[in-house]
Homo-oligomer: A and B are copies of this chain.
Amino acid sequence: MKITMAHGSGGEETEKLISRIFAAHFQNEILDEMEDAAAVPGAERLALTTDSFVVEPLVFPGGDIGKLGVCGTVNDLLMRGAVPKYLTCGFILEAGTDAAVVEQAAASMAQAAAEAGVLIVAGDTKVVENAHEAGGIVINTAGVGFLHRDVQITPSGIRPGDCLILSGSLGDHHAAILSARMRIENHIRSDVGLLTEPVSILLGEKLAVHAMRDVTRGGLATILSEFAKRSGLTMRIRESALPVHPEVRDFCGILGLDPLTMGNEGKFVAAVDAADAETALKLIRDTACGREAVIIGEVTERAEVPVILETKIGGERVVTPLTGEGLPRIC
């Protein structure tokens, strides 16, 4: 079945699409009430976030747009130190999209939501015209997390001496998407995934985690630039410490890409008090998604430049945020 403009009319066809695909996969007590707004238990302090997801191809090695849509928003809540609780979900479908692809995305979302322990409590579907009836999907998710009164995790809380821990290898998602687009056959898989496990452990152990950020659009270079800007300090990292899988490194070499500006979808960088850094590293390494975690550098008082990379041959390179398109759009 192809999605048609009628599926976006708000009438009977919309209702059928919702009940057959979305309600069937997202089924839960709150969503089943089919209200325009869901009523849910709250908390004294909340974390709120939103993200829209566009990716081509919609299904790629390691995941699909549905998994991306849940992991991206859940990870944003985790990075703030919140416990993710609820998602809302807006589907924008181009007329001509195969309903089977929409269903696969919904199934992936449901699976990732269950894994993350969040409920999809409200949804919306719109259909937009597409000149070529080629089809396409944009998914917006907004997330609500419960935030403990005392949790203050934010780049402005970074302190000189903090260690910078990266939870794993760089560039996998970006390289996987580009490979799929360029029809290059390799074994590179997207790292799209939830950061729930390492983050809950770090927070559960009450380690001095000052800031966390998932390494998505713009890559590590952009995240560290933001850390520097928001804290007024300098981030100093070592090139030799940066984990990049050999196949991704080769792929980048051939295409002239820099893993520092490439996007990931299942990695984070944390600024942790030096006293707790080794413990934090060990705990992250004990999790399924953090086995390749490393300390990539330290925070220093503000130097001449905000982010410095010590190169493998002993030099220093200024790291700047991604500018221009840089790389083809992948998330």
Instruction: List A residues at the B interface (Cβ < 8 Å).
Output: 4-6, 8-15, 33-54, 76-77, 79-80, 82, 86, 88-92, 121-124, 126-129, 131-132, 138, 140, 142-147, 154, 156, 213-214, 216-218, 222, 230, 261, 263, 321-327, 329
The contact of A261 among B11, B38, B48, B147, by CB within 8 Å, is B11
How many Å lie between the Cα of A189 and that of B128 in the bound state? 24
Please state if B47 and A39 are interface contacts (CB–CB under 8 Å).
yes
Closest CB in chain B relative to A259 CB, distance in Å: 15
How many Å lie between the Cα of A87 and that of B46 in the bound state? 13
Q: Chain B contacts of A218 at CB under 8 A?
A: 9-11, 14
Task: A36-B49, A128-B138 are known; give 20 further A-B pairs, CB within 8 A.
Answer: A4-B325, A6-B323, A8-B329, A9-B323, A10-B216, A11-B218, A12-B322, A13-B323, A37-B48, A38-B47, A39-B46, A42-B46, A48-B86, A50-B123, A51-B90, A52-B90, A124-B140, A129-B329, A131-B131, A144-B144
Question: Known: A38-B47, A46-B41. Contact between A326 and B138, CB under 8 A?
Answer: no
Question: Known: A39-B46, A47-B38. Contact between A325 and B6, CB under 8 A?
Answer: yes
Q: Chain B contacts of A90 at CB under 8 A?
A: 50-52, 90, 140, 142
How many Å lie between the Cα of A124 and that of B45 in the bound state? 22
Instruction: Name the residue among A213, A261, A326 with the largest chain B CB count within 10 angstroms.
Output: A326
The contact of A126 among B54, B122, B143, by CB within 8 Å, is B54
How many Å lie between the Cα of A91 and that of B122 in the bound state? 19
Please state if A42 and B146 are interface contacts (CB–CB under 8 Å).
yes
